[in-house]
Amino acid sequence: MAFDTPRDAHPTWMDLLVSGSAGISFAAGIADVDTQLCAASFVLVLVGMAARRTAYWGRWCALAVSLLLLGLAIAETAWMLSWRHLLAAASALVLVTIALRHLRRQRRSRPAPSLCRLSLVILHDAPRHLDAVLLKAIAEEAWESPLPGGSVTDCEVSPHEPRSYQVHISGARIFVRTSDANYWDEPEDIAAHFGDLRAQRAIRNHSHWTSIDVVTALHEATRDAAFAKAGALAAELAQGIEPVALIEAENGAFRTWDDSSDAGLRDGNPQDYLASSSGSAVVALDGDDPLLCAAVEEARRRWPEFVEKFSRRHPEQHFSIKAPITRSGHTEHIWIEVTSLSAECIRGRLGNCPIDLPGLKLGDPVSVASDSVEDWLYVLSTRPVGGFSIPAVERAQRRAATAAQAAAR
């Protein structure tokens, strides 16, 4: 049997001691017709029960009442020394000891508040000029509220370290750092783990990075509010610096920057946005892949079908072809939305964002030779026709996603 810590519903030695002391005091009070002693013994039992409770308030009440009883017992003993008064004083002293021990144990067992952390990193191609005054203005724009003076401080410790600033907000601190260098020491090794060509290019070629670290958001509501502010601040800091990718460093999430990134960071939950898919990966395909070779062969064999449908197209219909385009020694097999075609030439606009075709962007006009077509696609009454290479591309994308997940782990 434990001394003073209950195990399940079993009594402890301390329970028996307090109960025995109270019982003897009550019997002595009845024998001497001492109502004060009877009342004190009754209170002693109640206080002992409160001290035994696991409720924190019960132990504080037990401590307060025990101290009161102890003081009264000592005062009575000073006036009239008797075994009953000594017993009451001893019992009250025992209760004080019990309550103090339980309170100390309760405090030690309370878990320390855990610190929450979110680390967002923007990889970008253009430099980000930053100082404390400018960062304060950017934060006020992002959060649509003024910041008090002194809420943004410069905490740079060395000219050789990334420039660092601290933003004080309610319940949290946000550190912002910016560097004019690649985020990784060995970017080629990191890029090799990604099958997505956009991710590879972003990792290899970015020349600057900016990080936003939330380091002291403690409670759930405070944490969520701080993370939302960090996301909005990241979106505002990304303006005008040609962002190419986002990283959530704590969990290893990586996402190439796209048209949804600004809104995704501002929607109040940047972690969920970073964890979501960034759309279809742009992957390198093996030109000797039998599945891909069969797709190209079928697309070219059925090319007259595409030409015939295009000649009788409706104004709202979209016709696209996939063909290789080369710029500065880089070739990409890319979709083109067709605007006109002939036996020798196809003209249209880029239907995909090029990865590494200098001078070209989504929607730019281009032209290719008709015999270079590798795939084609159009929609007939909501039903897609063509897209012969899509199964080969999707298989490569699944492999790339698996490799990227393995690299993140």
Q: Please answer whether residues 324 and 374 qualify as being in contact, where contact means their C-beta atoms are separated by less than 8 angstroms.
A: yes
pLDDT, tens digit, 9 for 90 and up, residues 179-225? 999 999 999 988 887 777 888 889 999 999 999 998 765 677 778 88
Amino acid occupying residue 60: W
Would the pLDDT of 234 be above 90? yes
Mean pLDDT within 239-243 = 93
Instruction: Quickly state the pLDDT bin for 49 (edges 50, 70, 90).
Output: low
Of 350 and 95, more confident: 350
Nearest CA among 158, 168, 38, 40 for reference residue 95: 40
Mean pLDDT within 3-31 = 51
Q: What is the pLDDT of residue 224?
A: 85
Instruction: Quickly state the pLDDT bin for 78 (edges 50, 70, 90).
Output: low
Give the 3-state DSSP-derived string for the chain, with helices as H, strands as E and coil as C. Answer: CCCCCCECCECCHHHHHHHHHHHHHHHHHHHCCCHHHHHHHHHHHHHHHHHHCCCHHHHHHHHHHHHHHHHHHHHHHHHCCCHHHHHHHHHHHHHHHHHHHHHHHHHHHCCCCCCEEEEEEEEECCCCCCCHHHHHHHHHHHHCCCCCCCCEEECCCCCCCCEEEEEEECCEEEEEEEECCCCCCCHHHHHCCCCEHHHHHHHHHCCEEEEEEEEEECCHHHHHHHHHHHHHHHHHHCCCCCEEEEEECCCCEEEECCCCHHHHHHCCCHHHHHHCCCCCCCECCCCCCHHHHHHHHHHHHCHHHHHHHHHCCCCCCCEEEEEEEEECCEEEEEEEEEEEECCCEEEEEECCCCCCCCCCCCCCEEEEEHHHCCEEEEEECCEEEECCCHHHHHHHHHHHHHHHHHHHC
Would the pLDDT of 60 be above 60? no
Would the pLDDT of 139 be above 80? yes
Interhelix angle 13-31/35-52, nearest 10 degrees: 170
Q: What is the pLDDT of residue 3?
A: 38
Q: What is the pLDDT of residue 41?
A: 58
Q: What is the pLDDT of residue 121?
A: 94
Would the pLDDT of 8 be above 90? no
Would the pLDDT of 29 be above 60? no
Q: What is the pLDDT of residue 47?
A: 58
Instruction: Quickly state the pLDDT bin for 122 (edges 50, 70, 90).
Output: very high
Nearest CA among 50, 57, 56, 60 for reference residue 18: 50
Q: What is the pLDDT of residue 319?
A: 95
Q: What is the pLDDT of residue 163?
A: 83
Measured CA to CA, the distance from residue 256 to residue 276 in angstroms comes to 11
Considering the chain, what is the average pLDDT of its residues?
78
Would the pLDDT of 404 be above 70? no
- The upper half-sphere exposure of residue 305, i.e. CA atoms within 13 Å in the direction of its Cβ, equals 13
Measured CA to CA, the distance from residue 392 to residue 294 in angstroms comes to 10
For 347, phi then psi, to 5°, come to -115, 145
For 293, phi then psi, to 5°, come to -60, -40
Measured CA to CA, the distance from residue 305 to residue 358 in angstroms comes to 33
The answer regarding whether domain 290-406 maps to CATH 2.40.50 reads: no
What is the percent of the chain where pLDDT is above 70?
65
pTM of the model: 0.59
Q: What is the pLDDT of residue 395?
A: 81
Would the pLDDT of 116 be above 60? yes
Instruction: Quickly state the pLDDT bin for 171 (edges 50, 70, 90).
Output: confident
Strand order in the sheet with 330-341: 365-369, 345-350, 330-341, 319-327, 375-380, 383-386
Would the pLDDT of 276 be above 90? no
Instruction: Quickly state the pLDDT bin for 262 (edges 50, 70, 90).
Output: very high
Kindly report which listed range (62-66, 117-121, 313-317) carries the lowest average pLDDT score: 62-66
- Ordered by start, the domain boundaries in the chain are 13-109, 116-275, 290-406
Measured CA to CA, the distance from residue 126 to residue 298 in angstroms comes to 44
Would the pLDDT of 169 be above 80? yes
Dihedral, 298, 300, 306, 308 alpha carbons, nearest 10: -120
- Cβ-based neighbours of 9, under 8 Å, separated by 6 or more: none
> Angle 345-349-351 (CA atoms, 0-180°, nearest 5)?
120
Q: What six digits make up the tokens of 16?
A: 């028996």
